[in-house]
Structure 1
């Protein structure tokens, strides 16, 4: 389980743990993985949603990947001693500098606007059929869109193989970031534009 929105309550050299891990075999519980140090220095103060953590398992390798909104690196761990930081950066996103904020608004809409002004990394996935890792990299949301309460960023997807070699980056990916994988490809779950009660699944044969 992820401990989100905890980084703003961290101070000095006392980072909050990111993951709560329960071992079904040994029936033991442990806290593991700390936020990157830039999240809890005395100068930190991120919009709340930027403390959210995305993670995905690689079942066969027995590892979990953790993606932080403000960090170009992901953490790969088996929660039993293996711990690596892997560069998973986007050339598009790294051009934007992250800045801290002095005040976090109480209103959820204002919080969304505050976070939307930042370029940030998002969800991370593992495709077990093709052995690909995918990570979202989102650009800042234009102020004109946020005034209309449209919080859809420009989305790029970085794709790496199982050895973390970069295969490419998909630019301006449209639609939702809710995925599952089948032999046909990447399946994207979204809502029908004309009827919000209908679900649409777009299939991308992205291996080709």
Structure 2
């Protein structure tokens, strides 16, 4: 099998076997006929670039964040080899600085084992790092000094907090909002109902107890979906002060206020999710679960581009048994779906090959990471959204 395909399939499986999360409302029935939208725009590739990395940095990106500081734009990522955050200057395409994350000592935060531990840079004086094994959220500065820490296990039976890059933490009015996964649910048999506590609101002043919101759409009660298809992605629209929530097997989107109040369900006129089937008890082992997930239609991350005022939603078509067995893409299709501010589909870019859903946006365009066999570089493609003539 081609090494690039191997790398990409590993990335895909890792991404798809990660989160678990949640919103209210009824759903469209499975298998509704797909209605092609009238597309008004298209994504055009306008460039690409590479960023060199050193030999002690892993390019198997598990956590990343685009941020700005003093007008300088950075792409940051968690280097799992040395447990540090690397920040790359996007203008010079070079490493600008590293933030070590100490395992022990007065500033120690433990070992960030696993995909769901992660970080969020609010600013360089407020860097939040979550250790899922500890179930603690740590607040550091850019000198790696521990400023504060927050217990995520205040309430018994609460689902565990995570900081995945596709449902990033955000801060609103002195409170931090993070995603929770798993909790009291069945993975291989249908759930009659779900908890409504799959997002935690943390008072960063520690003056009030945690608050919770977010549950699953009704569609999830219609079958059993394993661990992986219970995942969620969200994105913050700072222009409308809202949170848009996307689910792996749900076409519709859900809008919340940034303080966790449900606002509305946004019904999608197109149906990309079809021919879903429930997972069986015999598919609960790791290998069978991988194959089950790859064979389903599903949504990946959602992002808001505040420059172009559009949403970017990643979608994965199903892989055939033959493709999965051979490690080839074949019938597999990945698409970037572009929605306007009213969450109407305006563009779809289809890919024959898989590309890791690592995306950020700025004035230059929509940047998408492209995995390479060369582990000494980070390669990005840049796209612009162009209106059809």
For normalisation by structure 2, the TM-score amounts to 0.47
Instruction: For residue 8 of structure 1, give the secondary structure of its aligned residue in structure 2.
Output: coil
1:87 aligns with 2:261: no
CA distance in 2, matches of 1:3, 1:89: 29
Instruction: For residue 21 of structure 1, give the secondary structure of its aligned residue in structure 2.
Output: strand
Query: Aligned pair count?
Result: 203
- The structure showing larger relative contact order (alpha-carbon pairs under 8 Å, at least 6 residues apart) is 2
Structure 1 residue 197: deviation in Å? Answer: 2.9
Match of 1:134 among 305, 312, 318: 312
Instruction: For residue 361 of structure 2, give the secondary structure of its aligned residue in structure 1.
Output: strand
Change in CA separation of 1:151 and 1:77 when aligned onto 2, cut-off 3 Å: farther
**Given that residues 196 and 213 in structure 2 are in contact (C-alpha distance below 8 angstroms), is that contact kept between their aligned partners in structure 1?**
no
Structure 1: stretches of 5+ with no match in the other structure: none
Q: Please name the residue that 1:178 is paired with.
A: 358
User: Radius of gyration: which is bigger?
Assistant: 2
**Given that residues 139 and 155 in structure 1 are in contact (C-alpha distance below 8 angstroms), is that contact kept between their aligned partners in structure 2?**
yes
Question: Which deviates more, 62-71 or 169-178?
Answer: 169-178
Q: Please name the residue that 1:75 is paired with.
A: 254
Q: Please name the residue that 2:212 is paired with.
A: 31
Q: Please name the residue that 2:276 is paired with.
A: 98
Question: Which deviates more, 71-80 or 27-36?
Answer: 27-36
Structure 1 residue 151: deviation in Å? Answer: 7.4
For normalisation by structure 1, the TM-score amounts to 0.83
CA distance in 2, matches of 1:183, 1:54: 24
CA distance in 2, matches of 1:70, 1:192: 29
CA distance in 2, matches of 1:86, 1:24: 31
Question: Which deviates more, 134-143 or 172-181?
Answer: 172-181
Change in CA separation of 1:122 and 1:34 when aligned onto 2, cut-off 3 Å: same
Structure 2: stretches of 5+ with no match in the other structure: 1-177
Q: Please name the residue that 1:4 is paired with.
A: 181
Q: Deviations over 1:124-160 (max 9, x none)?
A: 1100111101112211012222113457941112211
CA distance in 1, matches of 2:335, 2:266: 18
CA distance in 2, matches of 1:27, 1:169: 44
Q: Deviations over 1:7-60 (max 9, x none)?
A: 536832343533222254776522111111222x3x531132101111111123
Match of 1:20 among 173, 193, 200: 200
